[in-house]
Amino acid sequence: MDNNKRRASTKVPDQVCQYGSDCYRKNPIHFKEFSHPHLESILMEASAKSKYRIPDELFMSREVVLDQLKVLEQVYPELIHSRNSPPSKYSKNNTNQNSSSAGSSSTSTERISQSNNSNKNDQSSNAKPKPMTSKANSSELKLNSSVSPSKTSKSPSKGNAIADLFAERRAKMAKLQAEQQKKPEAQPSTSGSQAPKQPNPPKPSGISLKKAIPRNIHDYYPVVAPKGQMASKLAAAAPYNYFLTTITDAKITHSEPLSITFQELLDSSLGELECSVQMNFMVDIGWLLGHYFFAGYEDRPLLILYGDETPELKMVSSKKPNVTAVKVHIATPFGVHHTKMGLYGYTDGSMRVVVSTANLYEDDWHNRTQGLWVSPRLPPMPEDSDTGAGDSKTGFRENLITYLNSYKIGHLQPWVARIQKTNFSEVNVFLVASVPGGHLNTPKGPLWGHPRMGYLLGKHSAPIDDSCPLVAQSSSIGSLGPNPQSWVLSEVLASFRRDSAPIGLRRVPAFKMIFPSFSNVRNSHDHLLGGGCLPYMKATHDKQVWLKDYLHQWKSDSRNRTKAVPHIKTYCRWSHRGLYWFLLTSANLSKAAWGVYNKSAKFEAPLRINSYEAGVLFLPKFVIEENFFPMESKPGQQHPQFPMPYDVPIIPYALEDTPFFMDYLRG
């Protein structure tokens, strides 16, 4: 049976994957979009389900091929044991035809479990969507298509945790470099003999964790910042130290002073790394270790606290003894470990803290808008220092220690001891975090969730006119209740509206919410598939249709990120005078993240939080010693403009607009 007959008798697409046998994608959507003859041939020759004969030329990537076949047999079960002639390898002509329409880089969407967990806090009947993969610049996914993704690992295969990463990068970057080389070569001559030859992607190397890999990061990552410049970039970003991630398909962001890559967090100019901690929800261990490898820190102690389990994370310590990966277990099934924080210890005894909104896998650092706060370098305290000395005016060190101790994980205790002996006096932001459990007020005020925000604002924020709205912006929305008063106004706004003005009769500020509309996502770099990081379900929205009146578009022309779907989460209040405060956080607008009071309690109503979250609060009083941050740049201005992630004023939804629902990507 030739290729045409095979495709006619199945749903195998005509378009062949540009990476050929070097493709390492493991997601059903990718197999719905592109044909993989080398895999389809194996399925057709299989004697039974999961009984495959792997050709010798694919032996070095056998584990990855097996994972791909398991996905492919779910998508095209009719191919199994068909005993027809296997499809021939696609020709160079086919490759050239298809490569022009396929994107030069691929992305996979964030798993949806954390959004569902926040929804389950109020609506446990919601079905849990499955992970999906997006393809940059690919054809748009039709609404309500027949795609039915199944859960597959985005991480490299077991026993070869970095091999997949490097093989896939090699194929991608070879194509990108070939396309760049074709442009200048095509000008001198357009004859067939002089036309640049379409290169075949290199074969998988089969590199294991313990084998040497050439240290050329440009072969594996599309955006690589110059080495040795992050310290000066951080100094120039003072006093805010607030960055957005670079956008692969927006080249202008690659050289912006306030845009960074993950690799820059490991830059030698920040200090020689001695050890580090990565705390996150999703971690692609191959992607993460690849960055440490290229920074020259592949053998330095690394502790990973994660929320989303993968086989690769469970076995990484057996392959890399310097890496300790610990899953953070949460008592309730409705919460997740959603914090995104990094601790970096240097050989001179100093350290640094990074609070982020990005998961540690490729797609979150590709075409999505993410935010990061990077602390100054924090030196060790003198040996004879008082144990209470060295904290910041914001109490960041004390709050960080309290937060880390809440995990009750022994691996964190050496870090707690180190932090206790580190000078945090240069930190000018507050830590605002959430910890699962039931919480009451303490002598130092509420420690977690939205009451913590209210406490800090009430104590330190300058008086704010009630006409200034609260503007929330997140990448997911939980079950908020049947009306605004159910939770948003009665709890969130009650905390976030506070300031240091005397308590009296005041108006309730307006509430506004920025969440990408369908048209925002459709026009993004990755088209509809870019919405894979926005796990908001139509079933949830149908129970809170009142929210539509509060929704606003995502627009970020000023930061060159209107087409970069936001995974960042922010909350703030401003007026014509300036920005009164700004919160960068991992916490979406959900009860699981911020907490909800148990109003049925007989005495003091405890706050119930389901998830771990972490963010930083910028208050002008502590950052620039003013009552508000400037939101514009004017001649002779004493302080730099605060780098808002989106355009102001914000634009409300039109009547025909709808939020982007994850349903658009599901069958």
Query: β-pairing, 607-609 with 596-597?
Result: antiparallel
Q: 47 with 81: CB under 8 angstroms?
A: yes
CA distance 356 to 282: 13
240: helix, coil or strand?
coil
Q: Is 128 annotated as a binding residue?
A: no
Q: 474 with 515: CB under 8 angstroms?
A: yes
Please tell me whether the peptide bond between 649 and the residue prior to it is cis, using omega within 30 degrees of 0: yes
Distances (CA, A) of 163 to 71, 209, 365: 20, 7, 20
CA atoms within 13 A on the CB side of 463: 6
Q: Is 569 annotated as a binding residue?
A: yes
Helix (H) or strand (E) holding 214: none
Please state the separation of Cα 579 from the chain's center in Å: 26
- Alpha-helix runs per DSSP H in 498-635: 518-522, 538-541, 591-594, 620-623
Burial bucket for residue 487 (CB in 10 Å: 0-12, 13-18, 19+): buried
Burial bucket for residue 433 (CB in 10 Å: 0-12, 13-18, 19+): buried
CA distance 565 to 523: 10
CB atoms within 10 A of CB 202: 13
Helix axes 413-420, 396-405, angle to 10 degrees: 170
Q: 579 with 629: CB under 8 angstroms?
A: yes
Distances (CA, A) of 217 to 166, 260, 478, 651: 10, 16, 39, 40
DSSP state of 629: B
CA atoms within 13 A on the CB side of 614: 28
**Residue 4: what residue type?**
N
- Alpha-helix runs per DSSP H in 461-589: 493-496, 518-522, 538-541
CB atoms within 10 A of CB 275: 19
DSSP per residue over 396-460, as a string? HHHHHHHHHHTT--GGGHHHHHHHHTB--TT--SEEEEE-SEEE---TT---SHHHHHHHHHHHH
222: helix, coil or strand?
coil
291 catalytic? Reply is: no
CB atoms within 10 A of CB 26: 23
CA distance 349 to 376: 14
Closest CA to 628 of 509, 637, 432, 491: 637
484: helix, coil or strand?
helix
Q: 547 with 492: CB under 8 angstroms?
A: no
Question: Any idea which residue has 């960068």 for tokens?
Answer: 584
- Alpha-helix runs per DSSP H in 188-323: 230-236, 285-295, 311-319
Considering the candidates 36, 291, 338, 366, report the single residue annotated as catalytic: 338
567 catalytic? Reply is: yes
Q: 619 with 568: CB under 8 angstroms?
A: no
Question: Any idea which residue has 């005020």 for tokens?
Answer: 445
Phi, psi for 501 (deg, rounded to 5): -70, 150
* Binding site residue list for substrate: 340, 569
* Binding site residue list: 340, 569
Q: Annotated active-site positions, please?
A: 338, 567
